[in-house]
Amino acid sequence: MIVGERKPLEEIRAMLDPYRKILILGCGECVSVCMAGGEKEVGILASQLRMLYKRQGREVEIGEVTLIRQCDREYIEPHLDKIYQADVVLSMACGVGVQFVGEVAGEEVIVLPALNTKFYGVNLEAGMWAERCAGCGDCVLDKTAGICPIARCAKRLLNGPCGGSQGGRCEINPEVECAWQLIHERLKARGQLELLEEIVPAKNWKPSLSGGPRKVIREDLRL
């Protein structure tokens, strides 16, 4: 899932300052699952903001809507009325939702982000999420025992652990596991260590963001 984290209240407050009628727009997909921008988080933020404005003696109207998802036009369109009625939309989706609600609603509608979009990750344990994929556009997991060195090595190395790997930990932080240690262990367990003898040549970063904004087109699905 795409993992997000709510921005500090002070930052949200400052960006909402000019507006009197706010629609907080949650998203029912990834950010619901990672407890950052689903229906409940919309409720909490709305309640917090209502109390804040009441304290400040400001009259601000706050609406709450949570869509099935913000990355599909068909789920945004039924809510356009409410979106148009607001001065501003505070989207609690990932950066994708923030942009797409704006795209669908049109340039008159101001959509602001309530979250910082962090990464593609997993729910490691309750209350903890961790990065697993960097969306590089050219998956190498078949060569790396299913553990991604692009997303999980601080240097994105492709030819094994650097000299900073110690006791299974990364040099940048003892909390961080060395991805290449994990790859090594798994290949060893599988009796496939010889895979690490091969030199992986310089990666083609064209399919990644370095090649410019990306698009996927499936002609068979187009109308």
Partner 1 sequence: MGNFEPKIVGMFCHYCALAAQDVAGKGRMSFAPNIREVRVLCTGKIDVLHILKAMEDGADGVLIIGCKLGECYFREGNMRAFKRVDYARKLLDEIGIEGERVQMYEVPGPMGKRFADIITEMTEKIKSLGPSPLKKAAQEELMA
Partner 2 sequence: MKAGSNLEKILEKGEFAVTGELGPPKGNDIEVIKKKAEHLRGNVDAINVTDNQTAVVRMSSIATCALLVQMGLEPVMQMVTRDRNRIAIQSDIFGATALGIKNMLCLSGDHQIFGNQKEAANVFDIDSIQLIQCVKAMRDEGTLLGGQEKIEGQVRLFIGAAANPFADPFEFRVVRLAKKVKAGVDFIQTQCIYDMDRFKEWMRMVTDRGLHEKVHILAGITPLKSGGMARYMAKNVAGITIPDKIIARMVKAKDAREEGMKICVEQIEELRQIKGVHGIHIMAIEWEEVVPEIVKRAGLLPRPKVSKN
CB neighbour list of residue 98: distance below 8 Å, 6 or more residues apart: 70, 91, 111, 112, 113
Strands 88-91 and 169-170, by their bridges, are unpaired
138 binds partner 2 (CB under 8 A): no
Positions 182 through 221 that interact with partner 2 (CB under 8 A): 184-185, 193, 196-197, 199-203, 205
State the first-to-last Cα distance of the chain, in angstroms, to the nearest integer. Answer: 28
Tell me which of partner 2, partner 1, none is bound by residue 48, counting a contact when its beta carbon lies within the kind-specific cut-off of 5 to 8 angstroms: partner 1
Q: Confirm if 5 and 116 have CB atoms less than 8 A apart.
A: yes
How is 129-166 classified by DSSP, letter by letter?
A: EEEEE---SS--TTTTTT--HHHHSTT--SSS--TT-B
Question: How many residues form the binding site for partner 2 (CB under 8 A)?
Answer: 32
Stretch that binds partner 1, among 50-58, 86-94, 117-125, 207-215 (CB under 8 A): 50-58
Stretch that binds partner 1, among 51-59, 139-147, 196-204, 211-219 (CB under 8 A): 51-59
Closest CA to 76 of 99, 60, 95: 99
Smallest gap from residue 51 Cβ to partner 1 (A): 5
Smallest gap from residue 71 Cβ to partner 1 (A): 25
Query: Rounded to an integer, what distance in angstroms lies between the CA atom of residue 58 and that of residue 85?
Result: 19
- Residues pairing with 113 in the sheet: 91
**Binds partner 1 (CB under 8 A): choice among 20, 40, 73, 214:** 40
Smallest gap from residue 25 Cβ to partner 1 (A): 17
**Binds partner 1 (CB under 8 A): choice among 20, 56, 138, 193:** 56
Q: Which is nearer to partner 1, 101 or 114 (CB)?
A: 114
156 binds partner 2 (CB under 8 A): yes
Query: Rounded to an integer, what distance in angstroms lies between the CA atom of residue 89 and that of residue 91?
Result: 6
The binding site for partner 1 (CB under 8 A) comprises 9-10, 40, 43-44, 47-52, 54-57
